[in-house]
Structure 1
Amino acid sequence: MNIKKGKFTKPRGSAAQERARLEADFKRMTQSAGGRPDREPAGAQEPEARRKKRLKITAISVAAVLAVVVLGLSFFLWSYSRDDGLIFDNVYALNLNLSGMTQEQAAQALETQAQSLYGQSLVIHLQDRDLVLPPENTKVRLDAQAMAEAAYQYGRDGNMFDRARARSEAALSTHTMEAADFLTLDKGYIEDAVNQLGADLESTLTQPTAQVEGQRPDLSGYEGETGQEQTPIIPENGQTLILRSGQPGRHLDTQALEDRILKAFSQGDLSPISITYDETLPEKLNLQEVFQKYCLAPVDAVLDETTYVASQETLGYGFVVEEVQKQLDSAQPGQELRVPFQILVPEYTKESLEADLFRDVLAYAHTDHTWNSNRTRNLELACEAIDGYILKPGAVFSFNETVGERTAEKGYKAATVYSGMESVQELGGGVCQVASTLYYCTLYADLEVVSRAVHTFSVDYVPMGMDATVYWGSLDYQFRNNTDYPIKINASVHDGYVDIEFIGTDTKDTM
């Protein structure tokens, strides 16, 4: 029988080859029959061919993904960096936001803004003066077209990646353009103005000085002119005080000021500039020390508060510190002042202190007394104790304290006194008339009565109700000086009368 070869048949080889093939088939079948897997067990080394195949597939997959990413990113960058003809976001110039404008729109906006900003004067404030730079002198001009073009070109240089990065940065941060490259200024005028200001301010520090020329005159001949306080008394051929005011040291950093001015124009900010120059002030001349060194101070009269007699004043010679201080304060730096010395009248003179003291009779009373020698002697002793007494403002006069106890040792005699409902003889009898006369003056001078008692019976030396009785150890007559000036009490007995007089300062007509 003839057998045809099919597609599954192979030509047979030699016997040896056939045997080897059969052994291999048998080995494979026996391994399968024993349950062993066809693949390599876990942990066995992967065949090289299979590993290479797997790596190749992985590489192809990664390359495909990267290709997609690159293509997508390239498309994004291309579309993001594509020129739309508008200025990028957050681009500022002259305090204007030019974002989204065309060049023409930006140029027009910048031109309008420049006219507003640069059409005013720039003012520089210093400590004591101003520097004004008007636009007609600075001749400031802005090239709005060039600045608009530069704003448009921002972020458009470089390749696609550079442009995309610039656009991205513009969206996140602000780009401010300086106007310096687009401005024209008369820098020579600005420099000259600043330098002139610096020259006007520049000065060297000098300290003030004081000296005196001439000889001190004899002052004894001017004692009679002390009342002419309103008109200065300047002796002939006297001394003169020569003062020279100090001068501050000043310096202005002109280069720093010029740089600041140019920066203001560059930024489009012509707000007033405040700047200070360096200044070292001179020491202040102490006129009190100058006075003590060269002058003679006047000495005021002093009022004795016990006697109310003023001491004699002493004239001074020199200058009035307060007046010269005003002249020195208003003097220009380095100015010379010449001050002639004058007679200095004290503020308080003997005449002025005593002028208002004891000038007016505040009250006067005299009461007649009986011609009894003992009683008259008692009146005289009491008046002698009181006569010349000075009662200070606010002080209280006490009859008993001033006159004292009426004793024989003092010369008092026995005379009639009221004791209860009887008339008896006692030392000092009759002194109640002095107390009553004092009371009369107290009322007339409108002074304050502090303590007073009346007699049991009426008396004939004062009107009814105008008496005052005193008795050592129990009854006292007291009154207060409620005026602002001292009061002198004059008391005497003569020609049958007890005379009491209050001398003080009457302010009723002047108030």
Structure 2
Amino acid sequence: MPKQNKKKRIGSRRVQRRKRQRIAFLSGLCLAAVLIIFAISYGILYKYVHKVKDGTIASHIFIGETEVSGMTSKKALSAVEAKLSEYEALTLTMKVGDETAEATLGELGISAKDVDKLVEEAVAYGKKGSVWKRYHALRQLKDGKKVIKPVFTLDQEAATAIVDERAKSLEKGAVNASVSYQNGSFVITDEENGRTIDTEAALKTIAKYLNEKWDYKNAVVTLKEVEEEAAIKRTDLESIQEELGSYSTEAGSGNRVTNLQRAAELLNGTVIMPGEEFSVEQATLPYSEENGYVDGGAYENGEVVQSIAGGICQVSTTLYNAVLYAELEVTERSPHSIIVTYVDPSRDAAIAEGIKDFKFKNNYDTPILIEGYIDSNNQLGFYIYGKDTRPEGHSVEYESETLEKMEYTKKFVEDTESSLGTLNNEGTAINGRTARLWKIVYENGEEVSRDVINNSTYKPTEMRIKVGTATDNAEAANLVKTAIASQDEAAINEAIAQAKALINESQ
């Protein structure tokens, strides 16, 4: 190989080595510059993201409409809760059709879910992740703001009560068809369909508005109505054409008649659909002056006392007998504690609020109508109308049978305020008894069955007889006191006679 060519190759390698060295040197310089720039930038960013102290909220951060910038978690929580308290005074107008009802947000029980977690989120903003991520989050706040949206809720019990009381009163619900017996014929009034509010749906609508559209001011929310069909239609009532059963009792006199009249009014015109159970107690409540009742005579602990709606049991009893003749299904019936005078034993049906009720079921395939009244002859009566599907020639009668009688008792008590020998009765003397009621079925005048449909027990009363022992003669008084302790009526009468004789002898 020529010597000259060899020298050229050696020179070329040297040049290439020098180029590589220069490149390496320059690369090192660049890397060093980059590292220096990175270090400087990191330092700047680190300082930037640590401008906000731990436990302090960055600038331009809101929870709802409450700015919490620069606050500690404690101060932010207090600020948000104070704002929530202010919201309670704001008014929410509920629009139903063309009408409105109002309630404060406080009445609806407004609150925000997990407020403490909202505050934690505000404090943590810009403090998690890499320096670059934190810088990017905080840099966004320079020209804008971060809003952490609370989730508002309502107190379901309180809000339900408000909607039911105020908004639902504005709805125009369906009106059932009705029927009455007038001048020998049945008159039907047509049904009217209506619109009603679904309370659960209304609460969801209000909550959705508060969380999606509310501007933290007084608000108006339109509540959606749903169509409601009448439960009872004209076509349902056209089958009512015949009397199924009836019964009447003497109404008596005094305030008691007012109570009988009021309860009969409440029951009059009632339509009971096939298979439906009817409660006389629920239909005649509440037993109060506001509902038209007055003080009237009633039984209590074996005595006649005055009480609001006294006499209501005569209404249920009279209806019970009409139900028996209509042969409806009796599902609940109780006798009185002591015997009543307006019907035979076992033909009564007592009512005691929350304790005793008279219930029956329409076991016909068509609706029935109850008509209640007090007529010009002072008779409390009930008619039950419907479609009579019983065989022609079918009839029923009811017979009361007394099984045992129990005499009322007497209890003699000393009366130190009345003169010796004076007798004053307290309470009512009523005998007790056990009885049963028979249902007798006739077909074309022939008895075909006889069944017991109830058994009743009536307690005898205890009549208190106060015996006077007031006298200056101690011996005479002791004679009577000793006889009272024996509870022997004959001995008491004899002791009174002896005591009076002693007093006469001493005068």
Shorter chain as normaliser: what TM range?
Answer: 0.3 to 0.5
TM-score (norm 1): 0.34
Q: Which has the higher strand share?
A: 2
TM-score (norm 2): 0.34
